[in-house]
């Protein structure tokens, strides 16, 4: 389960930042640039403009200037961090379609998006575009709260699935970037069979052993309860700065079209959450 076996999972050569210049995007911009600097990655910045058809020319020009100002701020911040940056505005009716199209054309290893403030409903927190990007993007997606800073501790959740292994590989790579310690969590879900629950400690032991062999500081954790609730509470209790999840797994953490459990983790998490796509 070392990184080269699942490459390009765990690679961070190119990072895409989708921003609308709002406060909600501030954390995403900050984290995308910091991650690119640590990984020696190229940053691709994108902002989406409404399709100009049927819009007054003067309004189009106003929006274009506003978009250029947003991108210029990203360029300046990236330059200060010595991060190469390609920043562009794209037109489209639906932001998520534009973002996914850009991802498919530029092939980033991860897309970074902002998270809205907590309001009790996942769609309000994520925004419909963000939820759709997570479901349809062919790369991993990092969702970042407005006030987030670069992490120093990482929590990765695993249920032993291939998707979870991809998340562990990615978490290991992130840990290597700045020697961040990893906590590996598996949850014993009461509704599962006794045999299935008994696998949780074995899964954690296997992952921790592989991480330590790869030179990553790691500890294993086993909790009992509802998967998403256990992940959130563990993240809060251990004051982690990043949660890493597989896009889907045996417990249904983030189905391929983005499931409600993974949405609830992102909604309630005190930190950024990365959803990793298994290759």
DSSP 8-state code for residue 269: -
Q: How far apart are CA 146 and CA 120, in angstroms?
A: 17
Q: Which residues of 24-56 are buried (b: 16+ CB within 10 A; e: fewer)?
A: bbbbbbbbbbbbbbbbebbbbbbbbbeeeeeee
Encode the chain (279 residues) as per-residue pLDDT tens digits.
444 333 356 789 999 999 999 998 999 999 999 999 999 999 999 999 988 776 666 777 888 899 999 999 999 999 999 999 999 999 998 888 999 999 999 999 999 999 875 443 344 345 667 788 888 899 999 999 999 999 999 999 998 888 899 999 999 999 999 899 999 999 988 777 777 778 889 999 999 999 999 999 999 999 999 999 999 999 999 999 999 998 874 444 334 334 567 778 998 899 999 999 876
Measured CA distances, 222 to 88, 101, 217, 273 (Å): 44, 39, 17, 20
Q: What is the pLDDT of residue 27?
A: 96
- The residues that bridge with 183 in the sheet, in sequence order, are 155, 219
pLDDT at 126: 54
Domain boundaries, the chain: 3-145, 154-276
As given in the structure block, the two tokens for residue 178 are: 């700045």
Q: Strand pairing partners for 92?
A: 50
Assess whether the region 3-145 and the region 154-276 belong to the same CATH fold.
yes
| Residue with tokens 């970037």, as numbered in its chain | 177
In this predicted model, what pLDDT tens digit does every residue of 16-25 receive, in sequence order? 999 999 998 9
Q: Which pLDDT value is given to residue 212?
A: 93
Please report the pLDDT score of residue 2 as a whole number.
Answer: 41
Q: Which tens digits make up the pLDDT trace of 234-273?
A: 999 999 999 999 887 444 433 433 456 777 899 889 999 9
**pTM of the full structure:** 0.88
First to last CA, the chain: 13
User: Do the beta carbons of residue 183 and residue 155 sit within 8 Å?
Assistant: yes
Spell out the residues 6+ positions from residue 249 whose beta carbon is closer than 8 angstroms to its own: 158, 159, 161, 163, 164
Q: Report DSSP state, residue 4.
A: G
Neighbours of 62 (CB within 10 A): 11
Buried b (16+ CB within 10 A) or exposed e, 227-262: bbebbbebbeeeebbbbbbbbbbbbebbeeebbebb
What's the DSSP call for residue 21? Answer: S
pLDDT at 255: 42
pLDDT at 97: 92
Q: In whole angstroms, how far apart are CA 165 and each of 12, 84, 121, 219?
A: 17, 31, 29, 16
Let me know if domain 3-145 sits in CATH 3.40.50.300.
Answer: no
CATH: 3.40.50.620, 3.90.550.10, 3.30.60.50, 3.40.50.360. Which one for 154-276?
Answer: 3.40.50.620
Q: Which two tokens stand for residue 107?
A: 């092939």
């Amino acid at each position: 389960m070392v990184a080269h076996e699942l490459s390009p999972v765990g690679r961070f050569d190119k990072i895409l930042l989708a921003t609308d210049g709002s406060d909600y995007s501030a954390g995403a911009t900050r984290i995308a640039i910091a991650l690119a600097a640590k990984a020696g990655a190229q940053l691709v910045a994108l902002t989406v403009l409404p399709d100009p058809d049927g819009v007054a020319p003067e309004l189009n020009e106003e929006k274009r200037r506003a978009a250029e100002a947003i991108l210029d701020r990203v360029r300046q911040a990236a330059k200060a961090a010595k991060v190469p940056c390609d920043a562009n505005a794209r037109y489209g009716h639906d932001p998520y379609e534009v973002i996914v199209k850009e991802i498919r054309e530029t092939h980033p290893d991860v897309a970074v998006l902002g998270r809205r403030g907590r309001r009790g409903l996942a769609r309000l927190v994520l925004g419909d575009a963000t939820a759709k990007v997570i479901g349809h993007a062919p790369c991993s997606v990092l969702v970042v709260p407005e006030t987030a800073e670069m992490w120093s501790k990482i929590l990765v959740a695993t249920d032993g699935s291939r998707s979870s292994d991809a998340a562990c590989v990615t978490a290991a790579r992130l840990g290597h970037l700045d020697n961040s310690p990893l906590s590996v969590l598996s949850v014993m879900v009461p509704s599962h069979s006794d045999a299935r629950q008994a696998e949780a400690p074995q899964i954690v032991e296997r992952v921790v052993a592989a991480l330590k062999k790869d030179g990553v500081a790691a500890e294993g954790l086993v909790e009992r309860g509802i998967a998403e609730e256990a992940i959130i509470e563990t993240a809060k209790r251990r004051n982690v700065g990043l949660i890493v999840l597989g896009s889907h797994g045996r417990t249904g953490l983030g189905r391929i079209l983005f499931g409600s459990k993974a949405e609830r983790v992102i909604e309630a998490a005190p930190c950024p959450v990365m959803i990793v796509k298994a290759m």
